[in-house]
Amino acid sequence: MVSILSLPVPVLIIHQYSNIPHTHIHEILVNFGYPEDVILHTSDLSQATQFIEQHLPNLILCAVEDFDDLVFLQSTQKIHPEAHLISLHSSLECEDILIALKSGAHTYLLNSSEAEQLAEHIRIILRGGAILHPQLANYLLNAHLTSPAQIAHTHSTALAVSPIPYSPIEIQILQQFAHAQTLEQTAMLLQLSTVQVSNLVKQILRKVALHD
């Protein structure tokens, strides 16, 4: 199969938890045109670091469940800053996702997603964009509308106490996704292309990650 994507190879999938399946991600990447022999796997973070140093994968997908995984994201960003890091989560816990982003992940995936939806999310990421679930959009939007004092009392340290400087179009995108609008619906309502919307979502996540 000839892929319509610009393939970043090799790929490293780190699956250290049995509750976060990974085989379907492998299958999706193969269906998108990735050769089997460039998709590396490991269930050990130390071995993952060795793979990164030896193979310099462009795309790294890492299950994130505890503190050691966050430390791994931080160290990977330092030793291979060109890599695109994706955190894999078994459930949609907004604060866990935000902490992963602040630790170095560029975007996230939910392994609990249906296969078709997961494939579409991976396609969006491979095209340079990012995904955003309604719960996370609503979480970010509510935090933006909350006073700094209230944030300090009602949210964890995953969110900055000072407001994140979203642009007007970014606020509109958060509002649309918070109301469970699809990527296509949001693009139509805002008179943008789907690529522009997914790139703006990536920009939103980047602001969240970098803002203290």
Per residue of the chain (212 residues), give pLDDT as tens. Answer: 334 445 557 999 999 887 666 778 999 999 999 999 899 999 999 999 999 999 999 999 999 999 999 999 999 999 999 999 999 998 899 999 999 999 999 999 998 888 899 999 999 999 999 999 999 999 999 887 765 555 455 555 555 556 788 999 999 999 999 998 899 999 999 999 999 999 999 999 999 998 76
**pLDDT in the model for residue 101:** 96
Choices 1.10.10, 3.40.630, 1.20.58, 1.10.20: CATH for 134-210:
1.10.10
C-alpha distances out from residue 136 to 63, 64, 83, 113, Å: 18, 17, 24, 15
**pLDDT in the model for residue 2:** 39
**pLDDT in the model for residue 157:** 52
Q: Are 29 and 11 in contact (CB under 8 A)?
A: yes
Q: Do domains 11-126 and 134-210 have the same CATH topology?
A: no
11-126 homologous superfamily:
Response regulator (3.40.50.2300)
Q: Are 108 and 97 in contact (CB under 8 A)?
A: yes
Task: Judge if pTM exceeds 0.85.
Answer: yes
> Could you state, in order of their start, the residue ranges of all structural domains in the chain?
11-126, 134-210
For CA atoms 80, 90, 116, 177, give the dihedral sign. negative
**In sequence order, which residues have a C-beta less than 8 Å from that of residue 188 and are 6 or more positions away?**
none
Please report how the helices 94-102 and 134-144 are oriented relative to each other, as an axis angle in degrees rounded to 10. Answer: 80
Q: State the amino acid at position 86 in one-letter form.
A: I
